Structure 1
Amino acid sequence: MKTNPFTLILAVLAITSVCITGCNAPAQKAEATTEQVADKPDMATIKTEIQAIETEWASATTAKDIDKVMALYADDAIEMNDDVPMLVGKAAIRQAMLKSWEARKAGTTVSYETMDVYGDSNLVTEVGKITNKDKAGNVVNTGKYMGIFEKRDGKFICIRDINNEDQKDK
């Protein structure tokens, strides 16, 4: 049986084409997977960063340093607290915070604990716990909060803050 040289060349080209296509497909898929992994933010690092902000926040709140606390809020921030209407903007938040500080007993300390964070490298939702202690170190009350932070000018700043007490003081 005679084989046509043209048929033989077509067969070799077809086999070569299948091999080249098959060999390149996994490399492209692996490359895409590497890109997806590279885009995923390091949430443990972000959680540490947010906790550092909360530690600074607690220190400023304990010291009743309103300017330091307000520096952690965006100008367009919104805060939602127990038993009051929504506070929109820094001026409203400042006013409400100063009023609440007047009622706080001397020597009270505040601490915030970041439990978890969700999001990406630019927008993060934090879930946390609040603990207030009296001068002797006894827990006066506890609460929980959710904060939304947005990265602006290279640092996270609070744009939304929702918090409430676990049980009202008696």
Structure 2
Amino acid sequence: MKTNPFTTVLIAFVALMLVVTGCNTPAKKTEATTEQVAAKPDMAAIKTEIQAIETEWANATTAKDIDKVMALYADDAVEMADDEPMAVGKAAIRQVLLKSMKARQSGTTVYYETMDVYGDGNVVTEVGKTTVKDASGKVVSAGKYMGIFEKRDGKFICIRDINNEDQKDK
């Protein structure tokens, strides 16, 4: 069988290209990557920690202890209370909370319930419910809130707080 010289040259050229291409393929890196994967925060533990803060907050609010409540806010916090202008900084927040405490009937008990938390472990957003009961245990007010907490000096402190009632008294 005779082969065409053109076919022989073509086969030789293709073979040469395969050899050249194979030799020029970059070597696969076998070195191990040292990329660190950030550990996910334990949101159940954070929820427990935030609920403890909210329980302390509720107790101080029930007792109308403005200083204990203010200790839970960062100096640069912002409060967005129901039917009030935005309060920026502790001095403004103090005035809003004092007004609220004065308006609340004597003998009422305040409860805050942390429903959910999410975030990166350093900044956490909380979603919760507020319940206020009179001395007989009857619910006199219910509402909801969102708080943003930031870990500063090893503990969570409130940097943003927004809250409102579910239904106003008529």
State TM-score, norm by structure 1: 0.79
RMSD value over aligned CA atoms?
1.8
1:163 is aligned to 163
Flag as ranges the 4+ runs of structure 1 deviating above 4 A.
none
Following TM superposition, by how much is the alpha carbon of 1:155 offset from its aligned partner in structure 2, in angstroms? Answer: 0.4
Contact 2:132 2:142 in 1 (8 A): yes
5+ residue gaps, structure 1, are 1-17
1:148 is aligned to 148
Q: Which amino acid aligns with 2:144?
A: K
> Which residues of 2 match residues 1-170 of structure 1 at below 5 A?
28=32, 35-36=36-37, 39-170=39-170
Counterparts of 1:166 and 1:99, CA distance in 2: 19
Secondary structure of 1:46's partner? Answer: helix
Q: Which amino acid aligns with 1:97?
A: L
How many residues were matched structurally?
145
Percent identical among aligned pairs is 76
Following TM superposition, by how much is the alpha carbon of 1:51 offset from its aligned partner in structure 2, in angstroms? Answer: 0.4
Q: Which amino acid aligns with 1:128?
A: G
Counterparts of 2:65 and 2:108, CA distance in 1: 14
Following TM superposition, by how much is the alpha carbon of 1:128 offset from its aligned partner in structure 2, in angstroms? Answer: 0.4
Q: Which amino acid aligns with 2:113?
A: E
5+ residue gaps, structure 2, are 1-26
State TM-score, norm by structure 2: 0.79
Counterparts of 2:83 and 2:95, CA distance in 1: 15
Following TM superposition, by how much is the alpha carbon of 1:157 offset from its aligned partner in structure 2, in angstroms? Answer: 0.2
Secondary structure of 2:56's partner? Answer: helix
Contact 2:84 2:96 in 1 (8 A): no
The structure whose Rg is larger is: 2
